[in-house]
Amino acid sequence: MRVWAGRRFSVLVEGGYEIADAPDAVAIVALDAEDRFVLVRQQRIATGNKLIELPAGLIVDGEAPIQAAQRELREETGLRAGSWRELASFWSSPGLTNERVWLFEATGLEEGEPEPDEGEQLEVIRWTRDEVEARLHELVDASTLVGLLLYLRGAS
């Protein structure tokens, strides 16, 4: 039973449990021509901090996950990928929400201008594989950690 509805998610009560009913999401492990990982730094109000993350976002309007990934990569970084591969999908926090995250690899990148959503302020950064390995402790976003660790540990 839906007990509350907001702009981005609703709250359901099922079997005595409160569940955040949220749209699914995508995250993209994008590698440029120099084999650097493309990341974004953005303010996350819920954490009170700017976080370094994979390009990511919500699946909207009946999009297929790959379509959402292509749109989000373009919006957040300006990049378009020539090659896409699904790496995994996982529940973001199954004790709280029904949100599923679809993780993709994007390569063969073509540069372009970002098209961020209104109010979104993103800084695009690029780290080499060695930088990612050395700076994993700076990353606190679950989708980013899952994506990079899967990629680095052989999902590639």
Distance CA 145, CA 6 (A): 28
Give the number of other Cβ atoms within 10 Å of residue 26's Cβ: 29
Whether 50 and 85 have beta carbons less than 8 Å apart is answered as: no
Residue 155 CB partners (closer than 8 Å, separation 6+): 87, 88, 105
**Which residues are CB-neighbours of 64 under 8 A, at least 6 positions away?**
none
Task: Record the tokens describing residue 3, joined without a space.
Answer: 């007990």
Active-site annotation, residues = 118
